[in-house]
Amino acid sequence: MKDILIITPPFTQLNTPYPASAYIKGFLNTKNISAFQMDLGIEVILEVFSKKGLTHIFSPNTLHPSTNIQRIYSLKDDYIKTIDSVIAFLQGKNPSLARQICAGNFLPEAARFDQLDDMEFAFGSMGIQDKAKHFATLYLEDLSDYIVACVDENFGFSRYAERLGRSANSFDELYAHLLEEPTYIDTIALKILNKRIAEVAPKLICFSVPFPGNLYSAFRCARAIKANFPNLKIAMGGGFPNTELRDLKDVRVFEFFDFITLDDGELPLELLYDFIDHSPIASEIQFKRTFLLENNEVVYKNNTLRADYKQSEVGTPDYSDLWLDQYISVIEMANPMHSLWSDGRWNKLTMAHGCYWGKCTFCDISLDYIKLYEPIAAALIVDRMETLIEQTGENGFHFVDEAAPPALMREVALEIIKRKLVVSWWTNIRFEKSFTSDLCLLLKESGCIAVSGGLEVASDRLLALIKKGVTVEQVAQVTRNFTASGIMVHAYLMYGYPTQTVQETVDSLEMVRQLFELGVLQSGFWHQFAMTAHSPVGMFPEEFGVIPLQNQVTFANNDINFKDKTGINHDKFSFGLKKSLFNYMHGICFDYELQEWFDFTIPRTKIPKDYIYNCLQNDKSFTTKPTARIVWLGGQPQVTSSTKSKKGTHWKMMKLTFHNKTKSFDVLVSEKEGVWLLSVLEKLAIGNEKWFYSDVKADFEKQGENFELFWYSKPMLLLKSGGLITL
């Protein structure tokens, strides 16, 4: 028996659990409230994609007009025979199968494999395991196409019936679907759920609903719980209600749920549990940001005086109960950066609550999850990393920040190196100038493998209108710094922003082409601008030249339909932008004219062919702030002394031979400079007392020599390239 059952409904990710339930369970541990968590999505997937599941799916004699679906059905015996082995391989339990998959004539192939004729060259840079994962992913996607066509039109690996939840101002359509008979996918989910509720015997069931693609299943499950366990109370929280259900009015929602909470879930959930467990008298009942039904009306209760918990007080995420060894890694395309979202098991953590920037005009900056910025101490973050490594056996981390703060990333990196942890981690950032070459080298040394950030519209005019706080030149330099250090970069790209012209769309594509051609971007994704109710554009549309087309809201309210006063149909650019990017990510077609990506006439770009190249030549700097911290990442060198002479004058030289992980290099300096370097490098090592540029300068000048002349000399520039960094 547990106090609370936390459920993530189908579907989020195949490769790793969505972290919300682990965050909540970690908090409940600090309050001695027992909880059991389950990712219903992965449990359903594993039942569907099994010999038993496919046998059931293929059992009707399917007649379908699509030749592709007919082909899949004709190969049903091959799918049923291979499915368990393929799933085990994608779970990392059957690595030797990779050779058989790659050798061909093992997996049945349908339409999803057609793209291999064009992309086969891309696998030259992929290992056999990754190549086999990609083939196995296409195999699963073929099966998914069959399920959508013949079994359940709402199926999707990372979303379920998403259309019903997206921009649903009215509850009518979703409600009508919920009154229909459960689908095949529903029946599997409900069977698993009923069994788990009977085992756990909770007092309260909480659904964490992060996306529109989880909403239908959450309601379907809640309806079944009400029918089979009528005395249980059910709550919903998570990203979807936080953004979409803030204007909730429809009483029918509470036929399914007893409570819906908004924003940070820790205190609202604690108060709900107290209410259910202790049955306080009416005058003592307290709620935090909670919708419920009273006298057949939807009411919003926020009557507690208690403040939300600080991030240092919410505990370490707890992944126990989740089937960590059952998740499946898939690779949708042959791009190592792009695959991070679907390949590998990542422990999810947060460096800071909210966004330290909080100004972007397309973003929901009025909501607490963005506007309430609270960083966590670096030592506590790394404590949590160590706890999760011990708990999960995994040393990969995805920091799911809105935008990780550069200063905190620096301190976390220093703490990781100081503790000699071996980890791999990645996160989301802003492409700001704080990410110097040296900071990127430090992040790489600590285990950072990738970053993703918003370039949005690659136009300085529009970046200023977005209030992004960066320029295209700055983005180019920062992405170069990351790439040069060995950290992969993904860019979020946007088109259709209010007032954006056709010329600016074409010019933005040219900027992106050049960034990929020069190798400073490895991955990207085009999103069409969506106006949300809680962003500055949504709240003040007249300032951005858009006309909202709003419906009466009784259920969800986030995405708002609108007309752009420019009258441009931005939808028509979608296919060409995405097709060009797909090719750029595979390192091809940079010589194509931009017109070739579109089936309608576009203007020629006004961006010079060498624009990004020139941007990368403009950031040379030979000044250092006195407050900059100096850090030595290398070890102690081997020392050789020698004597030089010229015109009867003799002086002693010192050769310092350094060995790093990939190479050796020599630094030749005078004996006096060498003795000083040996002394100061030991002091600059991570874990020793902090030394700043002003400290190093003062220490050097005790000899009475010109420090700047020495600091920017050729030997010191060589040493800086080998691990002497300025932060």
The torsion angle over the Cα atoms of residues 328, 331, 332 and 333, rounded to 10 degrees, is 180
Domain-embedded: residue 651: yes
Among 115, 150, 185, the domain boundary falls at: 150
Whole-angstrom distance, CA of residue 128 vs CA of residue 708:
51
pLDDT at residue 120 tops 80 = no
Three-state SS letters, 350-373: CCEECCCCCCCCCCCCCCHHHHCC
Kindly state the tokens that stand for 125: 């840079």
Q: What are the Cα distances from residue 396, in Å, to 13, 264, 421?
A: 16, 25, 11
Say if residue 275 is preceded by a cis peptide, omega within 30 of 0: no
Tell me the pairing of strands 724-726 and 630-632.
Answer: antiparallel
Structure confidence by residue, pLDDT tens digits, 343-369: 999 999 999 999 999 999 999 999 999
Identify the CA nearest to 456 among candidates 400, 406, 512, 410: 512
**Residue 265: Cβ within 10 Å count:** 26
Residues 144 and 178 grouped into a single domain: no
**Residue 63: Cβ within 10 Å count:** 9
Return the amino acid letter for 188. I
Bridge-partner residues for 525, per DSSP?
492
Whole-angstrom distance, CA of residue 621 vs CA of residue 402:
30
Kindly state the tokens that stand for 187: 């029946």
Mean pLDDT of 404-422: 97
Mean pLDDT, the chain, integer: 93
Among 286, 311, 336, the domain boundary falls at: 311
Kindly state the tokens that stand for 459: 């136009």
pLDDT at residue 284, rounded to an integer: 82
pLDDT at residue 121, rounded to an integer: 55
Structure confidence by residue, pLDDT tens digits, 505-542: 999 999 999 999 999 999 999 999 999 999 999 999 99
Kindly state the tokens that stand for 241: 């209600």
Residues 6+ apart with CB under 8 A from 345: 15, 16, 324, 327, 329, 392, 394, 396
Number of domains present in the structure of the chain: 4
Whole-angstrom distance, CA of residue 434 vs CA of residue 411:
13
Domain-embedded: residue 322: no
Instruction: Name the DSSP class of 617.
Output: T
**Distance separating the N- and C-terminal Cα atoms of the chain:** 52
Whole-angstrom distance, CA of residue 22 vs CA of residue 33:
14
Instruction: Name the DSSP class of 245.
Output: -
The SS3 of residue 268 is helix
Residues 672 and 692 grouped into a single domain: yes
Please, which contacts does 542-545 make with residues 24 or more away whose CB atoms are closer than 8 Å? 544/361, 544/465, 544/498, 544/499, 545/498, 545/499
The SS3 of residue 210 is coil
Return the amino acid letter for 392. T
CA atoms within 13 A of residue 270's CA, in its CB half-sphere: 17
Kindly state the tokens that stand for 182: 């459960």
Q: Residue 650 — very low, low, confident or very high, per pLDDT cuts 50/70/90? A: confident
Structure confidence by residue, pLDDT tens digits, 69-96: 999 999 999 999 999 999 999 999 999 9
CA atoms within 13 A of residue 162's CA, in its CB half-sphere: 10
Residues 476 and 591 grouped into a single domain: yes
| Angle at CA of residue 578, ends 65 and 127, nearest 5° | 90
Q: In whole angstroms, how large is the CA radius of gyration of the chain? A: 29
Residues 6+ apart with CB under 8 A from 2: 34, 35, 36, 200, 201, 202
Instruction: Name the DSSP class of 549.
Output: E
Residues 353 and 305 grouped into a single domain: no
Instruction: Name the DSSP class of 233.
Output: E
Burial of 593 (0-12, 13-18, 19+ CB in 10 A): exposed
Identify the CA nearest to 572 among candidates 505, 499, 492: 505
Residues 522 and 563 grouped into a single domain: yes
Residues 378 and 422 grouped into a single domain: yes
Inter-residue contact 290 to 245 (CB < 8 Å): no
Handedness of CA 495, 501, 507, 511 (dihedral sign): negative
Domain, as residue range, for 32: 4-47+160-311
Mean pLDDT of 397-419: 97
Q: Residue 65 — very low, low, confident or very high, per pLDDT cuts 50/70/90? A: confident
Q: What are phi and psi of 156, to 5 degrees?
A: -165, 145
pLDDT at residue 122 tops 60 = no
Whole-angstrom distance, CA of residue 321 vs CA of residue 46:
16
Domain-embedded: residue 637: yes
Whole-angstrom distance, CA of residue 467 vs CA of residue 544:
12
Inter-residue contact 331 to 316 (CB < 8 Å): no
Whole-angstrom distance, CA of residue 583 vs CA of residue 408:
35
Bridge-partner residues for 495, per DSSP?
528
Residues 197 and 138 grouped into a single domain: no
Percent of the chain at pLDDT exceeding 70: 98
Q: Residue 127 — very low, low, confident or very high, per pLDDT cuts 50/70/90? A: confident
Q: Residue 62 — very low, low, confident or very high, per pLDDT cuts 50/70/90? A: low
Inter-residue contact 333 to 341 (CB < 8 Å): no
The torsion angle over the Cα atoms of residues 370, 374, 379 and 382, rounded to 10 degrees, is -20
Inter-residue contact 691 to 630 (CB < 8 Å): yes
Structure confidence by residue, pLDDT tens digits, 191-227: 999 999 999 999 999 999 999 999 999 999 999 999 9
pLDDT at residue 117, rounded to an integer: 53
Kindly state the tokens that stand for 712: 């920017």
Q: Residue 548 — very low, low, confident or very high, per pLDDT cuts 50/70/90? A: very high
Domain-embedded: residue 38: yes
Kindly state the tokens that stand for 423: 């980890």
Among 150, 171, 196, the domain boundary falls at: 150
The residue whose two tokens read 């931005």 is 570
Inter-residue contact 192 to 44 (CB < 8 Å): yes
Domain-embedded: residue 623: no
pLDDT at residue 536, rounded to an integer: 96
Q: Residue 316 — very low, low, confident or very high, per pLDDT cuts 50/70/90? A: very high
Kindly state the tokens that stand for 516: 């990929």
Domain-embedded: residue 318: no
Q: What are the Cα distances from residue 167, in Å, to 174, 243, 551, 553?
A: 11, 11, 10, 10
Residues 131 and 166 grouped into a single domain: no
Domain-embedded: residue 324: no
Whole-angstrom distance, CA of residue 335 vs CA of residue 330:
12
Residues 377 and 483 grouped into a single domain: yes
Domain-embedded: residue 437: yes
Question: In this predicted model, which residue has the larger pLDDT, 704 or 686?
Answer: 686
| Angle at CA of residue 237, ends 232 and 240, nearest 5° | 135
pLDDT at residue 113 tops 60 = yes
Structure confidence by residue, pLDDT tens digits, 245-265: 999 999 999 999 999 999 999
pLDDT at residue 649, rounded to an integer: 81
Residues 658 and 600 grouped into a single domain: no
Assign residue 574 the CATH number of its domain: 3.20.20
Question: In this predicted model, which residue has the larger pLDDT, 315 or 661?
Answer: 315
Residues 719 and 596 grouped into a single domain: no
Return the amino acid letter for 263. D
Q: What are the Cα distances from residue 615, in Å, to 436, 470, 599, 623?
A: 15, 13, 32, 19
Bridge-partner residues for 670, per DSSP?
653
Question: In this predicted model, which residue has the larger pLDDT, 521 or 63?
Answer: 521
The residue whose two tokens read 């900056």 is 365
Residues 270 and 397 grouped into a single domain: no
DSSP states along 434-492: T--HHHHHHHHHHTEEEEEEEEESS-HHHHHHHT-S--HHHHHHHHHHHHHHT-EEEEE
pLDDT at residue 374 tops 80 = yes
